[in-house]
Chains A and B, each alone.
Chain A
Amino acid sequence: MATKDQEKYLELEKIIEEHKGLPGALMPAMQKTQELFGCVPLKAQQMLADGLNATLSEVYGIATFYSQFNLEPKGEYVISVCLGTACYVKGAQDILDRICEEIETMPGKTSADGRFTVEATRCIGACGLAPVMTINEEVHGRIMPDDVPSILAKYKK
């Protein structure tokens, strides 16, 4: 029996087949891939490149240019730290650093247990609450680095 992953790659082959030879096919094929895997992983990028007459560098370039694509699947919780000017001057970088330290990952990456993805974002329009972060839909404002462990603890359960 095919594993879930194998099924997805079979599905990807179909996507590539459908897009073959069409002008400007790479972007839409990549969007479908993103939906299918929740990201555009290395092997999928290689298949897209080979199938759609592109280079891996082009595919990877697009995947890292547009924020709609991810290189690895997002965690259960997506933590977005606002690095807009207002938040930045109130120490958002320290917050971001502290979060990465706590869950042992890097901005743009997902923790080893697959639960948290950390992102730095541009201004989310909540400057009054600076520094601000969101965890999935929930907003946390006026936080200090030392608040980070207790906030994360709620999600870690």
Chain B
Amino acid sequence: MEKKMISLTIDGVHVEVPEGTTILEAARKAHVHIPTLCFLKDVNEIGACRICVVDAGARALQAACVLEVAPGMVVRTNTPEVREARKTIIELILSNHDKKCLSCVRSQNCELQKISLDLGIENGDEFAGTMRIYSVDDLSVSLVRDNNKCINCRRCVATCNKNQGVGVIGAVNRGFNTSIESAWDQSLAQTACIGCGQCIVNCPVGALYEKDELQDVWTMIDDPDLHVVVQPAPSVRAALGECFGLPMGTNVTGKMVAAMRRLGFDKIFDTDFAADLTIMEEATELLDRIQSRGTLPMITSCSPGWVRFCETYYQDFIPNLSSCKSPHQMLGAITKSYYAEKASIPAEKIRVVSVMPCTAKKLETRSPGMDSTGYPDVDAVITTRELGKMIKSSGIDFVNLPDEEFDPILGLSTGAGTIFGATGGVMEAALRTAYETVLNKELEKLDFHVVRGIQGIKEATIALGDVELNVAVVNGTANAAKLLDAIRKGEKTYHFIEIMACPGGCVNGGGQPIVSAQDRLNLDPRIERAKALYKADDEMIYRKSHENPMIKKLYDEYLEKPNSHRAHHLLHRHYVKRPKYQNQN
């Protein structure tokens, strides 16, 4: 049904918008910018911080982020009263805020800092008084919470509850003593936090950030005795450019490789290669489960936030998880075995650094069994943001770097590996390979459009010869919970499910460059970054994992065939049940 159109004026500009639109969104049509802090579209629309107040003709100022348009409304956003109210709100926030912008991870990308500058706040000491001092919670291996910078906007709480279905943080106490914490004074590390980092990318300020591992990485690079290999995940190349002011959705693969070389890494391999390897193992596992009547549906295991969610909240689905390690763990294991042999470098001298769009990978790499060669598969995990920091601190002029290529031998990949970064990508890559393996004939149309796009749950039925494959693709662990509940009740049956913990998949992971709530209204990182990956796939020579010549070589020379004994040893894993409470890493 068409929505009724409502006309109103905002700062004298006439606009017409559909019924139900908020003043905040209507104002954008009039090219009027209204500042926001607690507002996060569809997730946290609670009208709590009041920074967005406008004069809409009522007796008191009203919050534009929750106020809906009405016919003939006259809205003014730039009256002395509005300006004064906004200033007071910021002054009050700053009076209980650790204002150390110089050393803050979010400086220059902070919603509070921006508003303070825009409004011309002078020193933020207008209401100086008692400040609450919090100890910084840095016990989790994924993320740090520094409540001294928290403005109690609750965006993280809403994200953790609604998108992730986890809910390990919430508002505690009341009034001036309110703070956002885990229950019972626990560190996040003691809760069943899945480490996804979605709270980080939805925080307007510097109160949440990843646990930084850069010092460890620099120490490895600076040690001449070590051979340091780096591998970036598919999504990193679709977002790293944003750290350097490039438009969202710019693919910076070549510059990223060049920058990594200049940082001093000895070899630049590609997690995309390992994504192809994952597909070989996973597609084989799937076909085997179908043929031998094993546990179905099989569910993907490359998203460690999802894996932890399953191990904690949906333990009855552990047998459904694919036994495949995630791609970067596979690449680490292959680097310290096959590559070590080939290059005649002892595995103990090799260090593997993974650059991931993800904070849960920091947790994953420390899980039991992630050391199949006797050495850790991966020695450090840094996020896209941390790589950006490394490049900046090294004075590398990223934007003007020439494009360079990954190193042989573990740097060659296919389009199938590349699209792993977007929700639906793993499914599509697996289908390409499963189809050709089962039917032994070439797939005419490689694109499986039904599994693409950012919808929370997608379903499709794909014919593989006479087998009808029921598949589902899920992003966001809260959506995973919905689907698994339906399966438990017997309402749904599938053969194969792809689950990624983050909304939109890895492209929108908790380790990716942070996009403000307002910029997200213009451009959706889930869509823009995914476009970059699908475009890259489209332009690749090889678009199916099993056609990757280096993958073929790896099996011929070393692994023999997918799911072989050696492949199992190096590339597969097991899972553990984790308690919901008192969950120590």
Residues on A facing B (Cβ under 8 Å): 42, 45-46, 50, 55-61, 64-65, 71
Contact = CB atoms under 8 A, between A and B. Distances in A.
B173 A57 contact: no
B184 A42 contact: yes
Contacts of B580: 50
Given A56-B183, A60-B184, 4 more contacts: A46-B581, A55-B166, A55-B168, A56-B167
A56 B167 CA distance: 8
Interface of B: 157, 161, 166-174, 182-184, 580-581
B581 A56 contact: yes
A61 B581 contact: no
A57 B174 contact: no
A15 B541 CA distance: 64
Nearest to B581: A46
B167 A64 contact: no
Contacts of A59: 183
Contacts of A71: 184
Contacts of B184: 42, 45, 56, 60, 71
Contact of B167 (A45, A55, A65): A55
27 contacts: A46-B581, A50-B580, A55-B161, A55-B166, A55-B167, A55-B168, A55-B170, A56-B183, A56-B184, A57-B157, A57-B167, A57-B168, A57-B169, A57-B170, A57-B183, A58-B167, A58-B170, A59-B183, A60-B172, A60-B184, A61-B171, A61-B172, A61-B183, A64-B174, A65-B171, A65-B174, A71-B184
A64 B173 contact: yes
Contacts of A45: 183-184
Pairs A-B, 7 closest by C-beta atoms: A57-B170, A55-B167, A60-B183, A61-B170, A56-B183, A64-B173, A65-B174
Nearest to A65: B174
Contacts of A57: 157, 167-170, 182-183
A58 B180 CA distance: 11
Contacts of B161: 55
A64 B174 CA distance: 7
A46 B191 CA distance: 12
A60 B184 CA distance: 7
Contacts of B168: 55-57
Contacts of B172: 60-61, 64
Nearest to A62: B170
Contacts of B183: 45, 56-57, 59-61
B188 to A, nearest CB: 11
B584 to A, nearest CB: 16
Contacts of B174: 64-65
A55 B167 CA distance: 6
Nearest to B177: A64
Contacts of B157: 57
Contacts of B171: 61, 65
Nearest to B172: A64
A42 B581 CA distance: 10
Contacts of A65: 171, 173-174
Nearest to B170: A57
A64 B173 CA distance: 5
A60 B173 contact: no
Contacts of A42: 184
Contacts of B581: 46, 56
Contacts of B167: 55-58
Contacts of B182: 57
A60 B168 CA distance: 11
A45 B157 CA distance: 19
A92 B376 CA distance: 57
B88 to A, nearest CB: 22
A42 B182 CA distance: 13
B579 to A, nearest CB: 11
A61 B182 CA distance: 9
A146 to B, nearest CB: 26
Contacts of B170: 55, 57-58, 60-61
A132 B18 CA distance: 59
A30 to B, nearest CB: 14
A11 B161 CA distance: 29
Contacts of A56: 167-168, 183-184, 581
A58 B520 CA distance: 28
A130 B425 CA distance: 69
Nearest to A46: B581
